[in-house]
Amino acid sequence: MMMSSKPKKFFNRELSWIDFNQRVLEEAKDPRNPLLERLKFLSITASNLDEFFMVRVGGLQLVRKAGKRKADASGLTPRMQLEAIQKRTRQMIDEQYDCYTNSLEPALAAGGIVRIKPEELNGEQEQYLMRLFSDEIYPVITPVALQEKLPTPALQNLTLYLLVRFPPESGETEDRYAVLSLGKPLERFISLPAENSHVFILIEDVIKKHIGRWFSGLTALECALFRVTRNADIEVREDEASDLLSGMASILEERRWSNCVRLEIEASASRSMQNFLGSLLDTPPSDVFRINGPLNLKDFMPLAQIEGFSELKSEDWYPQPSPQIDRHQPMVEQIAAADILLYHPYESFDPVVRLIEEAARDPSVLAIKQVLYRTSSASPIIAALADAAETGKSVTALVELKARFDEERNINWAQRLEQAGVQVVYGVQGLKTHAKVCLIVRRELQGIVRYVHYGTGNYNDSTAKLYSDISFMTCDDALGSDASAFFNAVCGYSQPSGLRKICMAPLSIRNRLIELIDGEIERSRQGQKAQILLKMNSLVDEILIEKLYEASQAGVRIKLNVRGICCLQPGIPDLSKNITVISIVGRYLEHARIFYFYRNGEEKVFISSADWMPRNLDRRVELMIPIEDPPSRQRLIQIIKTHCDDTVKSWTLLSDGTYVRTAALPGRKKKKINSQQFFYEQACEAVRNAARLTRTTLRPHRPADKK
């Protein structure tokens, strides 16, 4: 990010996000990474850009069209932000396609994964494609003529289309056009017969080759692939929606046909074809991106996960069984004996699923209460909640319908749960419920006992293999009481009262964080050691950033591990010289939020569902939980300190807004620390140590162990 000679106190949020996606792209460009791992990262950057344009760019365009000119904390107006975004994203797209076309595709071909063009087909492949085209492609696709006198066909968000241009009819001057949809159920990649390699062709190349089959008697002047990105920054007006469920369904429908914020078209397309589409979609040239390669690199993710070709992949890391967990003993008995802390995906998410599944079957369990923000497509947790309700337990599920891009799935889950007898609640009006908590109420000999799972990630068994998150399971009386108060507040009309340990946004998290930072400031001013370590996804909140600046000026040593957006400017004399910021980009998405305050040796540690952003602290229901159990607290301290010491997969944010690989910094210690690899190896070693102590055959989980 280019900065003026007089540094500002805040970086722009949108450009900081682009910096994050650039760090992901650097993993795709890094020749030290295996080829298919690089292709995976490239696909992720494309997926990230799609969401960025739909939400952030779409929102900024609406603000600009509304005539708002107020500058953000970095000094950029909406127009200035959009101009900077255009420049940066065009540069990024050029780098994406340079990486794919000039690096990955040739290297993959050399490794046996070969994309071929129609002119490269051999006789056997030609015959195979001809049969496939006639039997499975041609019958599915129906071309639609684009004529002035006819309504414009709806072009769906993020769907691939082929635009075909024909010469004008006799006596006319305007070219004619038709469009073919390449969306579902068609597969983008078509495998072809080949020996000792995986050969494929893209469906758009097949359709272009046979385009004449659809237009007998016409001459196609050109064909070009294009894709429309539509604004998804649309929210339901809860104060006007009598039924939130139907209101969200309307929003989903509206997003399908909202205004175009980006038009991608093949670079080979003529300007007349581009102008036609721009006029059709009311899209100015500034929002048109000419793509020099296959559109929608996100589609290449399945290719990155192709079976075989182990020499082109990273070594598999499998979630390990935690030595804290005995698979033969009920989860509630283990939690009653000691608090349990798990670090996913190094340790398996299965105990969390087990806890809920066992509770559903346990006759002593009276009630289960859970927040569901994002779940997997075949969620065992949803199934367990439904089973519990059907067997007569009191089950309450707070399903957040406003979880962006998961709304449709959550609507379906909500309806299924209601049919099973679950009491489904749709959250607090005007707020998203983003907290991660499950409460199990059980009758035992000594009375009612509450078992609680607090987490930093979603109850999603699929992403739990890809995201790093913390799970904390306890039957601590105060934390159980707080969980009850939380559910009473968000499911009813009451204010959360009598919270003994946890903090809840939008009511108290920011104030509690300010108190904790102030405590370190005061100790530093008294000459005592003062230190703050923070791990989160994004740091945007101006109030908390200002407080961190104040702490730095007071001499508090602050290390920030911020994966994505960071608006704080580190390393500025008299402002932030005591603050360092790193970002880790590795095989797992860093998602855990851990906050550490030295507290004169008392070492206060918290986990949270909330990032330090206004949306989390002011417009969402979030939780921050103190971890007081000594073994769990010490483990969290090790986790955050190890991540802060990463020198292999971390990037350091400089005062001018640029990120550099930490290993490349002058004076950097020579010891190489890959924190993600460290925690995976630690999890494997813990399994081996447990096996030695118990003289069992327990060993690190690998594919052979599945038998």
The pLDDT score that the predictor gives to residue 248 is 41
pLDDT for the residue 114: 97
Residue 243 has pLDDT above 60, yes or no: no
% of the chain exceeding 90 in pLDDT: 80
Q: Three-state DSSP class for 629?
A: coil
**In sequence order, what E strands does 243-287 have?**
260-266
Q: Which of 195-199, 224-228, 698-702 is the most confident on average?
A: 224-228
Q: Given the DSSP bridges, would you call strands 557-562 and 579-584 parallel, antiparallel or unpaired? A: parallel
148-152, 304-308, 318-322, 560-564: range with lowest mean pLDDT: 148-152
Q: Which pLDDT does position 232 carry in this prediction?
A: 82
Categorize the per-residue pLDDT at 241 as very low, low, confident or very high, splitting at 50, 70 and 90.
very low
Task: Judge whether residue 3 has pLDDT over 80.
Answer: no
When comparing pLDDT for 16 and 173, which is higher? 16
* Token reading at 236: 């339901």
The region, left, alpha or beta by phi > 0 then psi within -120 to 50, assigned to residue 392 is: left
The length of the chain, given as a count of residues = 707
Which band of pLDDT confidence, cut at 50, 70 and 90, is reported for residue 6?
very low
* Cα separation, 312 vs 114, whole angstroms: 13
**Domain segments of the chain: what residues?**
33-312, 331-501+692-706, 505-673
| pLDDT exceeds cutoff 60 at 498 | yes
Alpha-carbon gap, residue 323 to 689, rounded angstroms: 9
* C-beta atoms surrounding 651 within 10 Å: 23
Q: How many Cβ atoms sit within 10 Å of the Cβ of residue 574?
A: 8
What residue has token string 């009311």?
Answer: 282
Averaged over 115-141, what is the pLDDT? Answer: 95
Q: How confident is the model at residue 244 (pLDDT cuts 50, 70, 90)?
A: very low
pLDDT digits (tens, 9 = 90+) for 610-668: 999 999 999 999 999 999 999 999 999 999 999 999 999 999 999 999 999 999 998 76
Tell me the pLDDT band of 414, cut-offs 50, 70 and 90.
confident
* Superfamily for domain range 505-673: Endonuclease Chain A (3.30.870.10)
Cα separation of 126 and 205, whole Å? 13
**pLDDT surpasses 50 at 705:** no
DSSP summary character for residue 612:
B
430 pLDDT band, cuts 50/70/90, is: confident
pLDDT in tens, 173-196: 889 999 999 988 999 999 999 988
- Out of 198, 344, 434, 453, the active site residue is 434
Distance CA 72, CA 68 (A): 11
pLDDT of residue 408: 74
Residue 271 burial class via C-beta count within 10 angstroms: exposed 0-12, middle 13-18, buried 19 and up: exposed
Which CATH superfamily includes the segment(s) 33-312? Polyphosphate kinase middle domain (3.30.1840.10)
Mean pLDDT of 72-80: 94
> By percentage, how much of the chain surpasses pLDDT 70?
91
Measured CA to CA, the distance from residue 282 to residue 289 in angstroms comes to 15
pLDDT of residue 149: 62
Q: How far apart are CA 637 and CA 114, in angstroms?
A: 47
With a cut of 80, say whether residue 239 has pLDDT above it.
Answer: no
The pLDDT assigned to 509 comes to 98
Which H or E run contains 169?
none
Three-class secondary structure of residue 217 per DSSP = coil
Q: What is the dihedral of CA 81, 226, 296, 31, to 10 degrees?
A: -80
Please report, as a single letter, which amino acid is at residue 203. I
Q: Does 139 sit behind a cis peptide bond, omega within 30 degrees of 0 on the bond before it?
A: no
- Least Cα distance to 549 among 511, 512, 579 occurs for 579
Q: Is 328 an active-site residue? A: no
pLDDT of 4: 40
pLDDT reported for residue 68: 86
Greatest Cα pair distance, the chain, in angstroms, is 92
Do the Cβ atoms of 642 and 346 come closer than 8 Å? no
Q: Name the average pLDDT for the chain.
A: 91
331-501+692-706, CATH topology level: Endonuclease; Chain A (3.30.870)
Which pLDDT does position 278 carry in this prediction? 94
User: Residue 63: pLDDT band by 50, 70, 90 thresholds?
Assistant: confident
Q: What pLDDT digit, counting tens, does each position of 465-476 carry?
A: 999 999 999 999
- Is 10 a residue whose pLDDT tops 90? yes
More confident residue, 338 or 401: 338
pLDDT of residue 255: 44
Would the CATH topology of 33-312 be identical to that of 505-673? Answer: no
Instruction: Give me the mean pLDDT over the 264-277 stretch.
Output: 96
Give the pLDDT score at 507.
94
The SS3 assignment for 359 reads helix
Statement: residue 151 has pLDDT above 70? no
Taking the chain, what is the end-to-end CA distance rounded to the nearest angstrom?
52
